[in-house]
């Protein structure tokens, strides 16, 4: 039985994860189960070869569940029951941890409307945010890396001092060779493993509150869409390395501040992956129609931070430009007037 | 989250921009405010508080320089000068305020529409009847038009100018005589006094009603100067062939000629045009803007010529030896000299005169005399609109630079707005760093060598443009005792 559903043991209705109580909740009778105490149906069931199905059927209505290759949780498009595809969450596809949603769908819509209303340069019609086409709660697969770095830097640096003596200006440039050996550890650096989500948007969604990480249990997925990773830990390692490289150079810079200028001749960074955990992180994905174009936004399911390119109103941009320029020009003029005009 | 941040950025920019010049402004004001005496009193209320403060500062500044208390009072009481002064002296705590020792006192009586000027001790030495009556004329001009502030300002300036202009022959016994007489009598008749009476025309015309001038010297305290300072100092001039003597006849001054084209560099029409413009600008800035050209083979040192011309002709706005800026063009030696006297000296320090010289020298070198002189007049007029000490050519004060800067800042902020509209990265190096393990394990710094370069210091005073020769000297004092600022160069 690769398809898992959560039926209320009281009334038999479908149960879903509730963001307020953080429990699996039956909307019909109000029964609530604590997920961390529940036995995961996955562990009871021993999968067999035949279970690697190409097709999944809804237990409630029997319809074929429409899925993509990466889908691991969704809802039946006919009856709406929450379904979890068990065979896509087992073995090396099993997430280690999960951050559950803290923002419900209603809150997400409200938060998004608030965000749209604050847009300084978005068109007026967009600011009212009344054209939300669809909103999906999605658990996006991430790898969290613990990376240990050993860094060796050789370089040349100068110290410049200037002074005046007699009729001459002197510039004294002292040259140095320097060497730095640095240990730098980075913990839980995230990299999104979904092929669908653009890296740029996912990077802007950070940071996720890691203190909310829970041990993964399938009931958390009830009522949401989830995906399995498209890239494994090895494939994503270069991307994470690139991400922390910037931080590493920042640190190296901070060790040579006593110099006027420093040039790195040889930088050797040895990165060792201490640990890479497969986790699911909560993201609300919103589709929005404006002016016959569809815009996609992502919202951090814990912090409510919204990311995505909104439409931009040219007239508003121009108004800001003209207004700000005029204000600054007036300020300059006023200051000059006060400065030069004071006749005695 | 986003809106307050944008506003904060805008405010920060604005604050930064305001902070620097504001500091300059407040700094200069507080510096001027130290150690000021009360010298201006307006019990009638024809001056605003700000005007009183400004005039007081001016009186203090000029007064302390010449060692004379320049006092100015507006009253409507039916009192004699002496009572007015005693009242004020008693009202103020400080011994310095309204003290008549070494003082010049101007009283505008709005009740009688009269002007009283009284001078004591040192002031009396410098200001004889002739000078007092000319000051009275100047004050009466402004007072008659209801310009009280201007009246006081002109009064303070003229006292300063006359006192610095050259001493009357001072006989040393006189000081004590005057002061003893003041203490002996109490009815205000012991000092030189000039009184101007208005014909009490009640019609609404604003034309000057101050026509008749009566000068009375009382009590036999004769302050008439026996010999003029100019002649006693004249010995210093004697080595020069005095080509400017002809201008010393005061009748020339009546014509209010400002352009003296002895070298005939201008056509008749050009001359008329320049003279007209110079007249207009001189009136606006209350400073004579003079151009003097010469190709006399006897021409001598250009600076000395400028000084001698000032001494002889005595240019100045509505008075002899007053506010004037002179451009002396010596075609014989192809040199020019610029000098600022009194108000023009304050507004045109050597640096500003250098700037003007750099602007006009290229024109003169190209024989475009009219354009050069036009530039001179326009620049002088413009610079007098800038507070002394401010560099008028400062790029930051240029309107186009300011407009450009405003557009750049506006564009920058808008670009930032557009760029950030899609959300931005809010994690940094510290977010994922493990603070327990991060650190420098090993390091070494090895000194290799030191290179030293030296460059000769660039001196700005000799930085005149390619067509203008090196400026040297700056200002000085004329033989007649008029101090001035200056700038000299060839073309």
Kindly report each contact of residues B452-457 with a partner whose C-beta sits within 8 Å and lies 24 or more positions away, as own/partner: B452/A170, B452/A171, B452/A172, B452/A173, B453/A170, B453/A171, B453/A173, B454/A168, B454/A169, B454/A170, B454/A171, B455/A168, B455/A169, B455/A171, B456/A167, B456/A168, B456/A169, B457/A164, B457/A167, B457/A168, B457/A169
Distance, C-alpha A39 to centroid of its chain? 30
Q: Given an 8 Å threshold on Cβ–Cβ distance, is A173 in contact with B57? A: no
Window B:389-418, CB contacts with A under 8 Å: 390, 392, 396-397, 399, 402-403, 405-407, 409-411, 413-414, 417-418
B399-420 and B2-32 helices, crossing angle to 10°: 150
Instruction: Flag whether residue A158 sits within 8 Å of chain B, measured between CB atoms.
Output: no
Asked if the model's pLDDT at residue B412 lies above 80, the reply is yes
Q: Which residues of A touch B406 (CB under 8 A)?
A: 325-329, 332
Count of all residues that appear for chain B in the document: 491
ipTM (interface pTM): 0.77
The pLDDT of residue A329 is 93
Residues of chain A positioned with their CB less than 8 A from the CB of B452: 170-173
| CA B354/CA B344 separation, integer angstroms | 14
Which residues on B lie below 8 Å from A343 (Cβ)? Answer: 387
Residue B15 binned pLDDT confidence (cut-offs 50, 70, 90): low
Q: Tell whether A195 lies on the interface with B, counting CB pairs under 8 A.
A: no
| B41 — pLDDT class (breaks 50, 70, 90) | confident
User: In this complex, which of B388, B399, B427 lies closest to A206 when CB atoms are compared?
Assistant: B427
Of B450 and A291, more confident = B450
Residue A92: CB atoms within 10 A of its CB come to 9
Note whether B451 contacts A: Cβ–Cβ < 8 A. Answer: yes
Residue of A nearest to B150 (CA): A344
Helices (H) and strands (E) in chain A, counts: 6, 16
Question: A20 to chain B nearest CA, in Å?
Answer: 25
Return the higher-pLDDT residue of A290 and B356: B356
The pLDDT value given to residue A119 = 82
Supply the pLDDT for residue B104.
Answer: 86
Q: Which chain B residues in 47-66 lie under 8 Å from chain A, judged by CB atoms?
A: 54, 57-58, 61
Q: Given CB atoms, is A326 within the 8 Å cutoff of chain B?
A: yes
* Cβ-contact B253, B318 below 8 angstroms: no
- Judge: B21–A338 Cβ closer than 8 Å, yes or no: yes
State the pLDDT at residue A97.
93
A173 touches chain B (CB under 8 A): yes
Q: What is the pLDDT of residue A281?
A: 94
Residue A337 forms contact with B (CB below 8 Å) = no
Residue B441 structure tokens: 């394990």
Measure in Å the smallest separation between the Cα of B21 and chain A Cα atoms.
7
> pLDDT tens across A258-275, in order?
999 999 999 999 999 999
Of B184 and A195, the one with more pLDDT: A195
| pLDDT for res B12 | 60
pLDDT in tens, B437-490: 778 889 999 999 999 888 887 654 444 444 444 445 678 888 888 889 999 888
pLDDT digits (tens, 9 = 90+) for B186-202: 333 333 444 443 333 33
Out of B67-81, B205-219, B390-404, pick the least confident: B205-219
- Can you give the pLDDT at residue A65? 84
Per-residue pLDDT, B190? 34
Percent of chain B whose predicted confidence (pLDDT) is above 70:
71
Of B18, B385, B402, which is closest to A329 when you measure between CB atoms? Answer: B402
Domain positions in chain B:
39-224, 245-393+467-490
B136-185 residue pLDDT tens: 888 888 888 888 888 888 888 888 888 887 654 433 333 333 332 333 33
Integer Cα distance of A25 and A32 in angstroms: 4
Are A95 and A216 contacting, i.e. CB atoms less than 8 angstroms apart? Answer: yes
Q: What is the Cβ-side half-sphere exposure of residue A136, based on CA atoms within 13 angstroms?
A: 16
**Is there a contact between A222 and A17 (Cβ–Cβ < 8 Å)?**
yes
The predicted structure's pLDDT at residue B209: 31
- Average pLDDT on A283-291 reads 88
Structural tokens at position B277: 């413009």
Cβ within 8 Å, pair B14-A331: yes
- The burial of B327, by beta-carbon neighbours within 10 Å (0-12 exposed, 13-18 middle, 19 or more buried), is given as buried
Instruction: Test B411 with A184 for CB contact under 8 angstroms.
Output: no
Contact at 8 Å (CB) between B440 and A150? no
Q: Which residues on B lie below 8 Å from A310 (Cβ)?
A: 421-422
pLDDT, position B1:
42
Asked if B162 contacts B225 with a C-beta cutoff of 8 angstroms, the reply is: no
A122 pLDDT more than 60: yes
Task: Name the residue among A120, A250, A341 with its Cβ closest to that of B3.
Answer: A120
What's the pLDDT at B31? Answer: 41
B422: contact with A, CB 8 A cutoff: yes
**Mean pLDDT over all residues of chain A?**
87
- Residue A15 in this model has a pLDDT that exceeds 60: yes
Nearest to B306, CA basis, from B275, B342, B335: B335
The answer on pLDDT for B30 being more than 80 is no
For residue A341, give the 3-state DSSP assignment.
Answer: helix
Question: Does residue A100 surpass a pLDDT of 80?
Answer: yes
Residues of chain B above pLDDT 90, percent: 20
A244 and B432: CB-CB below 8 Å? yes
CA distance B281 to chain A (A): 17
Distance in angstroms (rounded) separating the CA atoms of residues B290 and B257: 8
CB-closest option in A164, A181, A339 to B25? A339
CA distance B419 to B472: 55
Q: What is the 3-state secondary structure (H, E, C) of A117-173?
A: HCCCCCCHHHHCCCCEEEEEEEEEEEEEEEEEEEEEEEEEEEEEEEEEECCEEEEEE
pLDDT of residue A87: 81
Residue B448 has its nearest CB partner, among A164, A176, A183, at: A176
CATH number for region B245-393+467-490: 3.10.310.50
- So what's the pLDDT on residue A321? 94
The pLDDT tens digits of the residues spanning A215-254 come to: 898 889 888 999 899 998 899 999 999 999 999 999 999 9
What radius of gyration do chain A's Cα atoms show?
28
Q: Do B17 and A335 touch (CB under 8 A)?
A: yes
Q: CB-based contacts of A48: which residues, under 8 Å, 6+ apart?
A: none
Q: Which residue of B has its CA nearest to A312?
A: B418
Yes or no: say if A184 and A151 are a contact pair by the CB < 8 Å rule.
yes
- Mean pLDDT, chain B, integer: 74
CA angle B193, B198, B203 (to 5 degrees): 165
Length, in residues, of chain A? 344
**Could you say which of B405, B411, B446 has the minimum Cβ distance to residue A176?**
B446
Q: Tens of pLDDT along A324-333?
A: 999 999 998 8
Helix spans in B40-128 (H): 49-66, 81-91, 121-126
Residue among B58, B431, B443 minimizing CB distance to A207: B431
- B169 contacts chain A (CB < 8 A): no
Residue B254's pLDDT band (cuts 50, 70, 90): low
Do B245-393+467-490 and B39-224 have the same topology in CATH?
yes
CA distance B397 to chain A (A): 6
Secondary structure element (H or E) that encloses residue B199, with its range:
none
The top-scoring range by mean pLDDT among A313-317, B106-110, B131-135 is A313-317
In a mutational test of the B interface, the residue from A329, A334, A337 whose CB has the highest number of chain B CBs within 10 Å is: A329
Is pLDDT of A196 > 70?
yes
3-state secondary structure (DSSP) of residue A23: strand
Whether B450 has its CB under 8 Å from any CB of chain A: the answer is yes
The pLDDT of residue B198: 35
Identify all chain A residues contacting B428, using CB atoms and an 8 Å cutoff: 247
Q: Is the CB of residue B446 less than 8 Å away from at least one CB of chain A?
A: yes
Q: What is the mean pLDDT of residues B272-278?
A: 93
Classify A306 as helix, strand or coil.
strand
For residue A141, what are the β-bridge partners?
Answer: A280
Which pLDDT value is given to residue B215?
35
Q: Which of B432, B442, B449 to mutate to test the interface with A (most CBs of A within 10 A)?
A: B432
Q: Would you tell me which residues 2-21 of chain B have a C-beta closer than 8 angstroms to some C-beta of chain A?
A: 2-3, 6, 10, 13-14, 17-18, 21
- CA-nearest residue to A182 within chain B is B440
End-to-end CA distance of chain B: 63
Tokens standing for residue B29: 């004001």
Predicted local distance difference test score (pLDDT) of residue B187? 38
Between B248 and B10, the more confident residue is B248
Section A270-288 average pLDDT:
92
Which helix (H) or strand (E) segment holds residue B448: the answer is strand B439-456
8 Å CB contact of A183 and B6: no
With a cut of 70, say whether residue B235 has pLDDT above it: no
- pTM of the full structure: 0.60
What's phi and psi for B43, nearest 5 deg?
Answer: -85, -10
Tokens, residue B173: 């016994």
Helices (H), B314-384: 343-347, 350-365, 369-383
Residue B169 pLDDT:
40
- Domain boundaries B39-224, CATH class: alpha beta
**B294: distance to nearest CA of chain A, Å?**
35
Q: Which residues contact B108 (CB under 8 A, 6 or more apart)?
A: B72, B73, B74, B75, B114, B115, B139, B143, B148, B151
When pLDDT is averaged across residues B111-133 and rounded to a whole number, the result is 80
């Amino acid at each position: 039985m690769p398809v898992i559903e959560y039926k209320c043991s009281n009334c038999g209705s479908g149960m879903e994860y509730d963001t307020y109580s953080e429990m699996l909740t039956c909307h019909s009778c109000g029964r609530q189960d604590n997920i961390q105490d529940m036995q995961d149906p996955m562990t009871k069931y021993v999968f067999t070869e035949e279970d690697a199905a190409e097709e999944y059927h809804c237990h409630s209505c029997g319809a074929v569940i429409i899925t993509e290759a990466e889908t691991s949780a969704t809802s039946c498009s006919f009856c709406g029951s929450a379904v979890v595809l068990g065979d896509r969450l087992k073995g090396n596809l099993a997430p280690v941890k999960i951050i559950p949603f803290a923002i419900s769908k209603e809150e997400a819509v409200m938060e998004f409307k608030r965000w749209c209303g604050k847009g300084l340069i978005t068109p007026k019609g967009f600011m009212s945010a009344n054209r939300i086409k669809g909103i999906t709660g999605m658990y996006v697969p991430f790898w969290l890396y613990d990376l240990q770095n050993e860094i060796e830097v050789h370089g040349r640096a100068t110290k410049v001092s200037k002074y005046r003596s007699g009729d001459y200006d002197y510039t004294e440039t002292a040259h140095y060779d320097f060497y730095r050996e640095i240990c730098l550890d980075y913990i839980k650096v995230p990299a999104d493993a979904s092929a669908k989500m653009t890296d740029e948007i996912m990077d802007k969604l950070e940071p996720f509150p890691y203190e909310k990480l829970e041990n993964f249990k399938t009931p958390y997925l009830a009522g949401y869409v989830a995906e399995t990773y498209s890239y494994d830990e090895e494939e994503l390692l270069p991307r994470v390395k690139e991400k922390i490289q910037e931080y590493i150079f920042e640190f190296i810079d901070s060790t040579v501040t006593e110099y006027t200028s420093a040039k790195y001749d040889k930088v050797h960074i040895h990165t060792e992956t201490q640990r890479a955990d497969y986790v699911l992180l909560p993201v609300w994905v919103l589709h929005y129609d404006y002016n016959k174009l569809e815009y996609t936004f992502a919202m951090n399911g814990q912090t409510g931070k919204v990311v995505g390119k909104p439409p931009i109103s040219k007239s508003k941009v121009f108004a800001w430009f003209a207004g700000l320029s005029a204000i600054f020009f007036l300020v300059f003029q006023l200051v000059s007037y006060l400065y030069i005009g004071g006749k005695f | 989250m986003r809106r307050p941040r944008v506003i904060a950025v805008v405010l920060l920019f604005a604050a930064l921009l305001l902070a620097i010049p504001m500091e300059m402004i407040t700094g200069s004001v507080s510096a001027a405010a130290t150690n000021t005496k009360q010298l201006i009193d307006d019990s009638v209320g024809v001056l605003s508080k700000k005007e009183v403060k400004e005039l007081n500062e001016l009186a203090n500044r000029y007064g302390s320089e010449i060692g004379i208390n320049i006092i100015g009072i507006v009253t409507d009481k039916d009192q004699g000068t002496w009572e007015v002064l005693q009242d004020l002296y008693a009202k103020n705590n400080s011994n310095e305020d309204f003290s008549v020792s070494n003082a010049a006192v101007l009283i505008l009586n709005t009740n009688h529409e009269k002007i009283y000027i009284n001078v004591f001790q040192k002031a009396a030495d410098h200001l004889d009847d002739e000078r007092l009556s000319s000051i009275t004329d100047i004050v009466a001009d402004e007072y008659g038009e209801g310009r009280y502030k201007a009246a006081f300002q002109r009064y303070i300036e003229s006292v300063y100018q006359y006192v610095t202009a050259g001493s009357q022959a001072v006989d040393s016994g006189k000081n004590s005589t005057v002061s003893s007489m003041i203490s002996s009598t109490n009815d205000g008749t012991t000092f030189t006094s000039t009184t101007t009476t208005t014909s009490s025309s009640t019609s609404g015309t604003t034309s000057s009603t101050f026509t008749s001038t009566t000068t009375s010297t009382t009590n036999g305290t004769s302050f008439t100067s026996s010999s003029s300072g100019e002649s006693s100092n004249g010995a210093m001039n004697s080595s020069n062939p005095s080509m400017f003597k002809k201008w010393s006849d005061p009748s020339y001054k009546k014509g209010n000629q400002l352009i003296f084209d002895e070298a005939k560099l201008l056509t008749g029409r050009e001359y008329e045009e320049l003279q007209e413009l110079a007249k207009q600008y001189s009136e606006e800035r209350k400073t004579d803007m003079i151009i003097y050209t010469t190709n006399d083979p006897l021409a001598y040192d250009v600076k000395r010529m400028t000084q001698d011309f000032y001494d002889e002709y005595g240019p100045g706005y509505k008075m002899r030896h007053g506010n004037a800026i002179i451009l002396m063009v010596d075609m014989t030696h192809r040199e020019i000299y610029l000098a600022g006297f009194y108000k023009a000296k304050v507004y045109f320090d050597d640096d500003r005169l250098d700037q003007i010289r750099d602007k006009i020298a290229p024109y003169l070198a190209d024989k475009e005399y009219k354009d050069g002189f036009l530039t001179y007049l326009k620049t002088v007029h413009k610079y007098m609109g800038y507070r002394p000490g401010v560099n008028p050519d400062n790029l930051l004060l240029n309107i186009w630079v300011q407009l450009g800067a405003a557009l750049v800042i506006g564009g920058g902020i808008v670009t930032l707005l557009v760029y950030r509209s899609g959300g931005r990265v809010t994690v940094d190096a510290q977010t994922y760093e493990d603070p327990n393990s991060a650190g420098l394990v090993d390091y070494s710094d090895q000194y290799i060598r030191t290179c030293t370069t030296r460059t000769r210091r660039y001196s700005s005073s000799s930085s005149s443009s390619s067509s203008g020769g090196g400026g040297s000297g700056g200002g000085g004092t004329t033989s007649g005792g008029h101090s001035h600022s200056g700038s000299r160069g060839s073309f």
